[in-house]
């Protein structure tokens, strides 16, 4: 969305910032400040720290954690100095929180609000990663950045089967917080939103539970809310060649994007009740995989090679022409691949439909979103049998700059 006048700037969405049991207790440390506990036991996931600084931003190839809090913000200022200050403050707070420390350096004054909201006290870092990206609308002229917008950051066109709600789509800046504790992820976004007051407002956000893909080579493929293993052949963090070819931006774009990637998010509502009334064979033919084993139809193990040329005894392809696994395969999309990093979600009950509001918050990273994601989704949106059971209700695209060095800040080469 590039028309600034058309963008709603109404702050919180219907989901808001409340949920996921995030009203944790506050423990005062000596002097009125907070001290976040650090787990000491070796192997305890609450004690793990994922480095914030590095060549690439964390939260892309990091082994996918169990919980997500994703938020999109709109800027309420037209000052590039304000934007720069916000990014510096977000970077400093993120570096602290990923180590299990408070978001701010405490002032200790009992008559001022504390710098940290306190609900993550004692929970440890929990593998927290914070990833920050910039939407196409950030380059609409308000900040004098139009000449720095990469061509690949042009908005995603309307795709087949889209039923998008603009209130839960797009945005100037995004924050992806992933952790192995839901309250730690919530705490990260809450505190960045607190820091942004007066400069940016939250446009929409999404809580996620249960990763739906693996990015770590040692991780098992999880199941989505339809009960299927989906994304078995995802790009993994030990596949350096695939990451260079399909994920990391090289010298083809502006310098500030080198070593970065493009994030596409899609809120995909699953029509759970109709799916649950569908017989097993139809479910398996919809995905092109066996439900229990995860094997492609015609195989016996999950990681068996997908044989798109296999013919059944009736003379038809074993994997149907409109099966999800076939239409999403690199063979049918010019060899293109994406790195998937989605999460399941549930937002309660939709009283207008009389159904659960649940599904997949799809996230993927790639080097060229139009050549990769859009190309694949055009095929899926037009022909995928799965479309009978899903609705695409939200969509966004963000440019995620490369990593941050000590003393630097996210987007430094841009602003």
Return the ∠ at Cα 255 (arms to 172 and 342), rounded to 5°: 50
Is position 196 within any domain?
yes
State how far the Cα of 38 lies from the Cα of 24, in Å rounded to an integer. 16
The one-character DSSP state at 412 is T
Give residues with Cβ within 8 angstroms of 86, minimum separation 6.
195, 196, 199, 200
pLDDT of residue 20 exceeding 60, the answer is no
Among the listed residues 52, 57, 83, the one whose alpha carbon sits nearest the alpha carbon of residue 401: 57
- Assign 187 to helix, strand or coil: helix
Is position 14 within any domain?
no
> What does the block give as tokens for 233?
């052949």
Digit-coded pLDDT (tens) for 314-338: 999 999 999 999 999 999 999 999 9
> What does the block give as tokens for 158?
């309307």
User: What average pLDDT does this structure show over 297-306?
Assistant: 96
Return the ∠ at Cα 77 (arms to 74 and 81), rounded to 5°: 115
Digit-coded pLDDT (tens) for 156-196: 999 998 999 999 999 999 999 999 999 999 999 999 999 99
How many Cα atoms are found within 13 Å in the side-chain-facing hemisphere of 168? Answer: 20
Is position 387 within any domain?
yes
Task: Look at 16 and 387; give whichever has higher pLDDT.
Answer: 387
> What's residue 148's pLDDT?
97
Residue 54: band (very low, low, confident or very high) from pLDDT cuts 50, 70, 90: very high
> What's residue 161's pLDDT?
86
Is position 44 within any domain?
no
Task: Look at 69 and 350; give whichever has higher pLDDT.
Answer: 69
pLDDT of residue 73 exceeding 60, the answer is yes
> What's residue 84's pLDDT?
98
pLDDT of residue 293 exceeding 70, the answer is yes
Strand partners, 270: 358, 390
Strand partners, 118: none
Interaxial angle between packed helices 182-195 and 80-97, expressed in degrees from 0 to 180 and rounded to the nearest 10: 150
Residue 267: band (very low, low, confident or very high) from pLDDT cuts 50, 70, 90: very high
State how far the Cα of 252 lies from the Cα of 135, in Å rounded to an integer. 19
> What does the block give as tokens for 223?
């199941």
Query: Mean pLDDT in the chain?
Result: 89
User: What average pLDDT does this structure show over 250-255?
Assistant: 93
Q: State percent of the chain over pLDDT 90.
A: 84
Predicted model pTM: 0.89
> What's residue 105's pLDDT?
81
Is position 32 within any domain?
no
Q: State percent of the chain over pLDDT 70.
A: 89
Is position 57 within any domain?
yes
CB-based contact 209:67 (threshold 8 Å): yes
Is position 230 within any domain?
yes
State how far the Cα of 16 lies from the Cα of 10, in Å rounded to an integer. 11
Place of tokens 């000052």: 79
Residue 66: band (very low, low, confident or very high) from pLDDT cuts 50, 70, 90: very high
What is the domain extent for residue 327? 49-400
Residue 44: band (very low, low, confident or very high) from pLDDT cuts 50, 70, 90: low
Alpha helices in 288-374 (DSSP H): 324-327
> What's residue 12's pLDDT?
34
CB-based contact 136:146 (threshold 8 Å): no
> What's residue 231's pLDDT?
85
Is position 29 within any domain?
no
405 to each of 48, 83, 85, 179, 324, how far by Cα in Å?
Answer: 20, 19, 17, 22, 40
Among the listed residues 338, 341, 344, 409, the one whose alpha carbon sits nearest the alpha carbon of residue 376: 338
Digit-coded pLDDT (tens) for 187-240: 999 999 999 999 999 999 999 999 999 999 899 999 999 999 988 999 999 999
> For residue 85, what is the enclosing H or E element?
helix 80-97
Residue 340: band (very low, low, confident or very high) from pLDDT cuts 50, 70, 90: very high
User: What average pLDDT does this structure show over 38-46?
Assistant: 44
> What's residue 28's pLDDT?
27
Please give the tally of structural domains in the chain: 1
């Amino acid at each position: 969305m590039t028309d600034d006048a058309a963008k709603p700037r109404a702050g919180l969405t219907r989901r808001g910032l409340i949920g996921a049991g995030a009203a944790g207790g506050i423990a005062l440390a000596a002097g009125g400040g907070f001290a976040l506990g650090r787990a000491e036991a070796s192997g305890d996931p609450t004690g793990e720290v994922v480095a914030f600084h590095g060549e690439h931003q964390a939260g892309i190839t990091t082994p996918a954690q169990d919980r997500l809090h994703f938020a999109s913000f709109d800027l309420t200022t037209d000052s590039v100095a304000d934007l720069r200050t916000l990014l510096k403050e977000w970077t400093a707070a993120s570096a602290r929180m990923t180590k299990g420390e408070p978001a701010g350096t405490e002032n200790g004054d009992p008559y001022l609000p504390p710098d940290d909201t306190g609900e993550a006290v004692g929970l440890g870092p929990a593998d927290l990663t914070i990833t920050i990206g910039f939407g196409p609308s950030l380059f609409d002229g308000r900040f004098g950045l139009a000449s720095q917008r990469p061509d690949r950051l042009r908005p995603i066109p309307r795709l087949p089967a889209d039923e998008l709600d603009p209130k839960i789509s797009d945005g100037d800046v995004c924050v992806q917080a992933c952790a192995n504790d839901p309250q730690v992820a919530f705490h990260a976004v809450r505190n960045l939103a607190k820091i942004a007051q007066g400069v940016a407002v939250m446009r929409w956000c999404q809580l996620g539970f249960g990763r739906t893909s693996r990015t770590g080579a040692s991780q098992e493929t999880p199941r989505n809310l339809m009960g299927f293993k989906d994304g078995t052949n995802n790009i993994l963090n030990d596949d350096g060649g695939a990451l260079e070819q399909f994920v990391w931006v090289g010298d083809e774009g502006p310098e500030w994007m080198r070593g970065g990637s493009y994030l596409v998010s899609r809120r995909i509502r699953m029509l759970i009740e109709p799916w649950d009334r569908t017989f097993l064979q139809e479910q398996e033919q919809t995905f092109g995989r066996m439900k229990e084993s995860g094997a492609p139809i015609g195989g016996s193990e999950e990681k068996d090679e997908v044989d798109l040329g296999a013919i059944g005894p009736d003379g038809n392809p074993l994997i149907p022409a409109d099966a999800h696994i076939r239409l999403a395969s690199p063979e049918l999309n010019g060899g293109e691949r994406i790195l998937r990093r989605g999460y399941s979600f549930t937002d309660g009950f939709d009283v207008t439909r009389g159904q659960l509001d649940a599904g997949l918050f799809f996230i993927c990273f790639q080097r060229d979103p139009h050549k990769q994601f859009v190309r694949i989704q055009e095929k899926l949106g037009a022909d995928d049998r799965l479309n009978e059971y899903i609705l695409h209700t939200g969509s966004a695209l963000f440019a995620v700059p490369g990593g941050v060095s000590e003393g630097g800040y996210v987007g430094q080469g841009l602003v």
